[in-house]
């Protein structure tokens, strides 16, 4: 999303300015072209030379210094960007923007800029919570300016509360999501993804489960978000951090996953079921931790069949494009093709989980896509993010037909 984007970064005089040096560097690493405009106050915290070095372009501060196209011709700089980011945005610049003041280079360029504007307020909590600042922010929101909420925590002035500039990774995620929602090919689509394994309790401390880490499903969710979709991630227990901007529904058992999926299902356009669902559950769950068993007698746990979530969804299918996964250790194509039919799927992603680099808890996967018409597409060993990205390409192609 950021590759090739022209971003004007407006920097005002706040202590969080040090994070913006890193931000500019990271934006460039992601392929964005960046030009920095600083206020005179900001230039007292950090030399414009540093931003010039990091951005690869002269850093503009004053209307009057130099006569190159971007310092004097502020309209040219305003028109250059695809996106304008103000970070950190002090109470002062927010007030100026709300009033339409243009008394220095940054406020002038901002007033002239036709591109989308994002502001990242960062200041002392009292200043942030002051009614004047809040009203100014509301004015900006009403005018279509996007306001990234500040983080809470300890501030440079020694107080604690809202007003911290979010971390650089969070600002980048915000920019990516902002662009994805405007330009991504999946914008406007609702996608339900399931991930990780479900667990069926035996007693209060033990469960029947499987080796799914959630990596495959989380990759699908992340890629769909980057393409602008609204993503609901129904996830079994996982050590992974869910991708930002997903609606996350944590579940433990197959029944909980079924209930969550049924609730979301009527409204979604695409379902991708990467979760490894426990097919069986203990017939009864012990109230207390089961003590050691007699080695001669052993222990038998009676199991019941769990509902098949995907088959249930397939039986109720309306507008939804339904994608299943098939985790197999033998007869991959035959078993996967049967699942397409039995579960009324539009596509299945088959992985032989006995192959090195494929299946459970790896960063890579080796998959084959199968369709109801019998066609098969085999992918080589790829990262799970790449598998997810190609999977979404195919979903989008097939939905159009």
338 binds ligand PMT (CB under 6 A): no
For 361, other C-beta atoms within 10 Å of its C-beta total 11
In angstroms, the CA 121 to CA 112 distance is: 20
Helix, coil or strand: residue 382: strand
Residue 12 · residue 44 · CB < 8 Å: no
314 binds ligand PMT (CB under 6 A): no
CB of 1 to ligand PMT, least distance (A): 24
Residue closest to 276 by CA, chosen among 223, 331, 214, 224 = 214
325 binds ligand PMT (CB under 6 A): yes
281 binds ligand PMT (CB under 6 A): no
Helix, coil or strand: residue 53: helix
243 binds ligand PMT (CB under 6 A): no
321 binds ligand PMT (CB under 6 A): no
User: Per CB under 6 A, which region of 55-63, 111-119, 165-173, 352-360 contacts ligand PMT?
Assistant: 352-360
User: Per CB under 6 A, which region of 22-30, 48-56, 287-295, 319-327 contacts ligand PMT?
Assistant: 319-327
Q: Which of 115, 120, 157, 261 is catalytic?
A: 157
150 binds ligand PMT (CB under 6 A): no
280 binds ligand PMT (CB under 6 A): no
Provide CB contacts within 8 A for 282, sequence distance 6+: 200, 201, 202, 208, 301, 302, 303, 304
Query: How long is the chain?
Result: 401
In angstroms, the CA 381 to CA 159 distance is: 51
197: which DSSP letter? B
Window 105 to 124, contacts with ligand PMT (CB under 6 A)? none
59 binds ligand PMT (CB under 6 A): no
User: In this chain, which of 213, 232, 235, 253 binds ligand PMT, going by CB under 6 A?
Assistant: 213
User: In this chain, which of 12, 133, 232, 254 binds ligand PMT, going by CB under 6 A?
Assistant: 254
DSSP H or E segment with residue 194: strand 190-195
**How, if at all, do strands 230-235 and 247-250 pair?**
parallel
User: In this chain, which of 105, 231, 274, 332 binds ligand PMT, going by CB under 6 A?
Assistant: 274
**Is 157 in the active site?**
yes
310 binds ligand PMT (CB under 6 A): yes
Provide CB contacts within 8 A for 143, sequence distance 6+: none
The contact set with ligand PMT (CB under 6 A) reads: 196, 212-216, 254, 273-277, 279, 306, 308-310, 324-327, 339, 351, 353, 359-361
**Catalytic (active-site) positions:** 157
């Amino acid at each position: 999303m950021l590759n090739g984007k022209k971003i004007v970064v407006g920097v005002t005089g706040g202590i969080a300015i040090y994070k913006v040096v890193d931000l500019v560097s990271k934006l460039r690493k992601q392929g964005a072209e960046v030009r920095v405009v600083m206020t005179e106050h900001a230039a007292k915290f950090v030399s414009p030379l540093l931003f010039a070095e990091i951005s690869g372009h002269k850093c503009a501060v004053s209307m009057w210094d130099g006569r190159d196209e971007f310092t004097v011709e502020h309209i040219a700089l305003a028109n250059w960007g695809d996106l304008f980011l103000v970070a950190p945005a002090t109470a002062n610049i927010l007030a100026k923007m709300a009033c339409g003041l243009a008394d220095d280079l940054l406020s002038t360029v901002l007033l002239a800029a036709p591109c989308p504007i994002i502001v990242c307020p960062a200041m002392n909590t009292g200043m942030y919570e002051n009614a004047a600042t809040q009203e100014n922010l509301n004015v900006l929101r009403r005018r279509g300016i996007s306001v990234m909420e500040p983080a809470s925590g300890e501030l440079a002035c020694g107080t604690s509360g809202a007003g911290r500039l979010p971390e650089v990774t969070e600002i980048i995620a915000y920019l990516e999501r902002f662009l994805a929602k405007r330009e991504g090919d999946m914008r406007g689509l609702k996608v339900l993804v399931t991930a990780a394994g479900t667990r069926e309790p035996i007693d209060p401390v033990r469960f029947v489960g499987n080796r799914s880490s959630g990596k495959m499903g989380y990759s699908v969710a992340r890629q769909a978000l980057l393409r602008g979709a609204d993503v609901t991630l129904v996830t079994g227990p996982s050590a992974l951090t869910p991708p930002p901007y997903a609606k996350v529904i944590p579940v433990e058992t197959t029944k909980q996953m079924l209930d969550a999926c049924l609730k979301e299902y009527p409204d979604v356009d695409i379902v991708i079921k990467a979760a490894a669902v426990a097919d069986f559950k203990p017939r009864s769950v012990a109230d207390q931790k089961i003590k050691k068993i007699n080695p001669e007698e052993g222990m038998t746990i009676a199991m019941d069949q769990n509902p098949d979530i995907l088959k249930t969804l397939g039986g109720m299918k309306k507008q939804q494009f339904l994608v299943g996964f098939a985790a197999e250790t033998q007869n991959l194509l035959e078993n996967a093709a049967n699942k397409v039919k039995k579960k009324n799927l539009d596509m299945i992603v088959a992985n032989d989980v006995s192959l090195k680099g494929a299946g459970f808890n790896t960063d890579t996967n080796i998959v084959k896509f199968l369709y109801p018409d019998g066609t098969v597409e085999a992918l080589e060993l790829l990262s799970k993010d790449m598998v997810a990205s190609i999977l979404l390409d195919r979903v989008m192609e097939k939905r159009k037909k």
